[in-house]
Amino acid sequence: MDERILVTGGTGVLGRPVVARLLATGHEGVRAMSRRPRPADGGPEWVTADLQSGQGVDAAVAGVGTIIHCAGFKGRKAEIETVGTLIRAALRAEEPPHLVYISIVGIDRIPLGYYRGKREAERLIEASGLPFTILRATQFHELVRLMLAVLAKAPVMLVPAVSIQPVDVGEVADRLVELALGKPAGRVADIGGPQARDARDLARAYLRASGRRRPVLGVRLPGRIFRALRQGDNMAAGQPFGRRGFEDHLAACADPGALSYR
């Protein structure tokens, strides 16, 4: 019988495809965790738990051999605290599980508060004594599309003069599943999308897909964050991992202009 794998954030943008891919492999021990009740369409084994309050987390972790941590929380403090809650529950388990954590490329070079939280969460995992694997990925196509949808609300689309290497969330899910089914590997190579793209080019692609017409102007913004982005600190080193580009993502969207991350 397959060892049980827990996917936190099982209803989220990343958690859903991770669960789907695990089931597609024929893995029989998939357990999805969410703060939400079980979906009406059924699916894998389901547990309701809340990493912010800690309620139900021990029960969710009990008996699992691997945890794929896909649940995300807004803000530096929330990310650190919820990862700490998960680690403590995992350490209380009879057999410490393999913890697979999704992180973000450039968190040690780009001085965003949330990125600092992700880096501190990595350090907690590294020092926990748990067997672990950490994968950093570039920004998902979904998030880039949402940011552009917000910027397109103005008559003139003002876009930061930086490059972005967006990646398909399904391809990130594929890599997470591969890592979860393998042995703990520590920090593995970063992954990113097929191309580094000028944000203005992505904005024009978004406008075409959503049927809008706007002037697009690149804006050179000051500060350490945008300097790091201009330096390419948000890019994955080495050969591109992803194959599906931003236009592929837009073509698959039911409504490319929707102001929704899902």
Residue 177's pLDDT is what?
97
Whether residue 259 is contained in a domain is answered as no
Residue 253 reports pLDDT greater than 80: yes
**Count of domains in the chain?**
1
Band the pLDDT of 43: cuts 50, 70, 90: confident
- Inform me whether the pLDDT recorded for 34 exceeds 60: yes
Q: Is residue 261 part of a domain?
A: no
What is the mean predicted confidence (pLDDT) over 168-193?
97
What sign does the dihedral 210-214-218-221 (CA atoms) show?
negative
Is 258 a domain residue?
Answer: no
What's the pTM value of the predicted model, to 2 decimals?
Answer: 0.95
Establish if 262 belongs to a structural domain: no
Reported as a single tens digit per residue, the pLDDT across 225-250 is 999 999 999 999 988 899 999 999 99
- Region 42-55: mean pLDDT is 90
Q: Specify if 94 maps to a domain.
A: yes
Predicted local confidence at residue 1, as pLDDT:
55
pLDDT in tens, 11-23: 999 999 999 999 9
pLDDT tens-digit map of 84-134: 999 999 999 999 999 999 999 999 999 999 999 999 999 999 999 999 999
Q: Is residue 71 part of a domain?
A: yes
* pLDDT per residue as tens digits for the range 135-148: 999 999 999 999 99
Q: How far lies 69's CA from each of 12, 55, 82, 146, 247, in Å?
A: 11, 17, 10, 23, 28
In whole angstroms, give the CA distance from residue 54 to residue 86.
Answer: 8
Rounded to 5°, angle at Cα 66 from 60 and 244: 110
- The pair of three-digit structure tokens given for residue 141, joined into one six-digit string: 């196509």
- Taking residues 173-199, report their average pLDDT: 97
The pLDDT score that the predictor gives to residue 178 is 97
Q: Does 40 fall in a domain?
A: yes
The CATH number covering residue 35 comes to: 3.40.50.720
Is residue 260 in a domain? no
The residue segments making up the domain with residue 213 are 5-252
